Structure 1
Amino acid sequence: MFSYPAVLDELALASKRLPDSPIRFGDGGEYRIEIPSVESTEAFRVVVQECERQGVPLHRISQGSGITVLTDDTLREYVAIGADHNVEVCLFIGPRAAWDGNAASALTADGGIFGARHIGVAALRAAWEDVERAVDSGLRSLLVADEGLIALIGQAQAAGDLPGDLIVKASALMGIANPLGARALEQAGAHSLNIASDTTLGDLAAYRQLTRGALDMYIEGQDGLGGFMRYHDLPEIVRIGAPVHLKFGLRNAPVFYPAGDHLAAVVASSAKARVTRARAGLEHLWRGRPGAVPSPVDGKRDGVPVPA
């Protein structure tokens, strides 16, 4: 007869007690602000301007279209803006199965979980070339949705073949489902884990029980991820989940991946709206937990780009 795994008892206990997280970012912060879906450098400048105007500390922007569709000049511009404003710039690695035409299963209802992954050795090699291009351009933060690529990057980083300040962010599209899976990704080389936005506070405590790195949560998620809004939970999310990236997507907003000049207006207006949502979220946090400590925006942080 099998014995009940002790780790499940530990997770159940954490889920009931909801303890304060003792972990912090390296700079002492409990939380950072991430603005996702910043799909152009123009939108990046809008985000920087709006954050300054609305008093929102900006620590990270992320992008879903991927570096594959960016010109070298645009990639360098992302790097320059991030370096100038001390903002982590996290861009998606491609190619992805739902887009590259090599995996029909990724387009089916049952096979959708493969959509953002790199199916086969050729796709994995192409993704690795994206990684090399990103790092050579000065990027120090990569958005990844494939376990194999995370492991490959982790091995290269451990061997000193990739920079030590490189951040690997496990995408929400990976479908991280439980704390044991999250720990496996962290052990493989992920530094930042995007868990589901409808994660209960009890399960958040369980994630924190087994992981040491940053957790990422959409406080407001886009419709494709459920459209959940967790504004009133923000004080507890920070208390229990620190260190945590607070992400602000938009419900009832168009999906524009991969973006381009033909979608410039909606990309920019959506980016501005996300900053306003972040301000609303911060006000909820300040009212409910006024002592919550953000990472300083002017401190040295891994993931901030280094112009080549």
Structure 2
Amino acid sequence: MQQTRDFLSSQGLPATESGEAPTSTKRFPDGAQYRVEIPSVEGPEVLRGVFEQARTHDVTIHRISQGSGGMLLTGDELAEMAELAGHAEVSLFARPVAAWDTGSMATISGSVAAQARGTEQLVHVLEDVRRTAEAGLRSVLITDLGVLAVAARMRAAGELPSDLRFKASVQMGLANPASIRIAEDLGADTYNVPTDLSIPQIASIRAATSLPLDVYVESPDDLGGFVRHYEIAEIVRVAAPVYLKFGLRNAPNIYPSGLHLTPTATLLGRERVRRARIGLDMLDRHAPDAKTSQLPTADLAVPQPVRH
């Protein structure tokens, strides 16, 4: 195996995963090691509830993300999300993808569910990105490498705003240093690693990329249902710059969301913030010198509300 390890080293990739994961010296532009993300914030009412709970628990939220897609928000709701965001980044899922298509294979294989199928769905996903950006949002969640590659070219060509950020979703599924570097080369601005990677595996990815990594501290049941609060200090140590992402175990799947689920989605959002407070208290206990970003922060993809 040594020849293969030597070749990986020649490509600037880690050749081994050591038991003692190295401390990351990489940082966000402001020098911070970690930021906080609250996922599944499905609309303006949920966003209001999340921010209210954040004030109650003194949690600084740097990014909120959403899973139903910009396509399931009205134009007014998109505008309201942009207005409500304040200094936080708002990242909306780019849909539709295979899981919402007419084919059956996506219901059998999760790896297929996140992919864009055929030319028409590629067009639909890119149109969703365009519509979201036109509403003033500056971050989108992407699951498909082809969508990422074309969207990045559109950004470079001026078809999309130059400050639009591409957040690679956990559903993209890339899980090793070489593959995640491909996503970086194609235009990803941040990468959500699979929820079940060990600390050494996360460290090996960090060695190969400078992208911020998004790491679920607690993941939904359909993404493993892991609760990793006691690992937060180690995650920050080896993965910086890292977004600590507080999902929620033992919670219903609310995608696609809507008025029929808003009360549930709001309560789930509030509980994610409470879980974040618990996790951050553990981080303060075990790594009191860990540095976070203060808001406002220049490099966050904060919405640019469109004034009419």
Normalization by structure 1: what TM-score?
0.94
Alpha-carbon spacing, 1:203–1:167, altered in 2? closer, same or farther (3 Å): same
- Give yes or no for the alignment of 1:253 onto 2:254: no
Moved more, 22-31 or 234-243: 22-31
**Alignment-derived partner of residue 98 in structure 1:** 99
User: What pairs up with 1:77-116 in 2 under 5 angstroms?
Assistant: 77-82=80-85, 85-101=86-102, 103-108=103-108, 111-116=109-114
Segments of 5+ residues of structure 1 without an aligned counterpart are none
1: CA distance, partners of 2:181 / 2:270: 34
C-alpha displacement at 1:5, in angstroms?
4.2
**Alignment-derived partner of residue 59 in structure 2:** 56
Summarize deviations over 1:160-212 as a string: whole Å, max 9, x none: 43323221111111112211111110110111111122211111110001011
**Alignment-derived partner of residue 36 in structure 2:** 33
1: CA distance, partners of 2:177 / 2:16: 14
Secondary structure at the counterpart of residue 148 of structure 1 = helix
User: What pairs up with 1:287-298 in 2 under 5 angstroms?
Assistant: 287-298=285-296
C-alpha displacement at 1:105, in angstroms?
1.6
2: CA distance, partners of 1:165 / 1:294: 23
Moved over 4 A (4+): 7-10
**Alignment-derived partner of residue 134 in structure 2:** 136
Moved more, 92-101 or 215-224: 92-101
C-alpha displacement at 1:293, in angstroms?
0.6
Secondary structure at the counterpart of residue 3 of structure 1 = helix
Contact between 1:166 and 1:302, CA under 8 Å: does it hold in 2?
no
**Residue type at the aligned position of 2:242:** V
Q: CA RMSD in A?
A: 1.7
Q: Would you say how many aligned residue pairs link Structure 1 and Structure 2?
A: 303
Alpha-carbon spacing, 1:288–1:2, altered in 2? closer, same or farther (3 Å): closer
**Residue type at the aligned position of 1:106:** A
Contact between 2:141 and 2:166, CA under 8 Å: does it hold in 1?
yes
**Residue type at the aligned position of 2:180:** A
C-alpha displacement at 1:21, in angstroms?
1.0
Summarize deviations over 1:190-236 as a string: whole Å, max 9, x none: 11111122211111110001011110011000100110111111111
Alpha-carbon spacing, 1:227–1:124, altered in 2? closer, same or farther (3 Å): same
Task: Provide the identity percentage.
Answer: 43
Summarize deviations over 1:104-126 as a string: whole Å, max 9, x none: 22122xx3311122111110011
C-alpha displacement at 1:8, in angstroms?
4.2
- Give yes or no for the alignment of 1:149 onto 2:147: yes
2: CA distance, partners of 1:156 / 1:289: 41
Secondary structure at the counterpart of residue 174 of structure 2 = coil
C-alpha displacement at 1:7, in angstroms?
5.4
Normalization by structure 2: what TM-score?
0.94
